[in-house]
Amino acid sequence: CKSLPETVLFQLLGLSIATLSTVTHYGLRFTLISNISLDSNSYRVIHHRAFYFGICLSMTLILAALLSSAATVRESQCLTAMGFFCFALAFCGLIPAACWRYTHSTEVEDSMMDVYDFMYEEVRRNTSSSRRHELTAIHEAFLCCGKHSPFGDTTNVEHKTCPPGQVHDEEKDCLREIRDFLKKHMDFV
């Protein structure tokens, strides 16, 4: 039988997972990449699945905590069993998620970088491209500018799409900024 303080902690955990899922789904950087990505890129699918999985997990934890609270107050074995079942469902849902994260550790990062690479090359090849606004939006959202090339073959892309003051700033390489952003986000998760 769970005590009431433990169920409050599970409710807070469920609310924090729901908040994190919502921020991940509707956050500017994630939404921007999702809207720009092509249908052939896996990022949009991962983006939506992660959101729905997080919301389902959080609702399961909140339901389990509420059932456990009610079971404690009413001393009901049936409510205790239902709460335990919800906790078991949450645990069983976390195992495949952890396995996916381990086996596909770079898939999200790679798909986000593929979106950026595609946009950058599209604008580089065709300077009148309608994609220039989207590339500019990425540069503004990630506070970065272009890609660092060991060959030094930068083009006018940076001059036309980067925020002022960030052109040719090697510390603001977009691929590095995207990687760093995702690493910080996953550390928080």
User: In the chain, where are the structural domains located?
Assistant: 3-104, 127-187
> Residue 131's closest CA among 173, 160, 99?
160
When mean pLDDT is compared across 12-21, 107-116, 155-164, the lowest value belongs to 155-164
Average pLDDT of the chain, as a whole number: 84
Give the pLDDT confidence of 48-88 residue by residue, as tens digits.
Answer: 999 999 999 999 999 998 888 888 888 888 988 998 899 89
Distance CA 62, CA 64 (A): 5
What percent of the chain clears pLDDT 90, i.e. is strictly above it?
Answer: 29
Give the pLDDT confidence of 101-149 residue by residue, as tens digits.
Answer: 888 878 888 999 999 998 888 888 886 677 888 998 999 999 888 887 6
Q: Do residues 145 and 139 touch, judged by C-beta distance below 8 A?
A: yes
Q: Which positions ≥6 away from 42 have C-beta within 8 Å?
A: 107, 111
Question: Between 51 and 154, whose confidence is greater?
Answer: 51
pLDDT the model gives residue 162 = 80
pLDDT (mean) for 89-106: 87
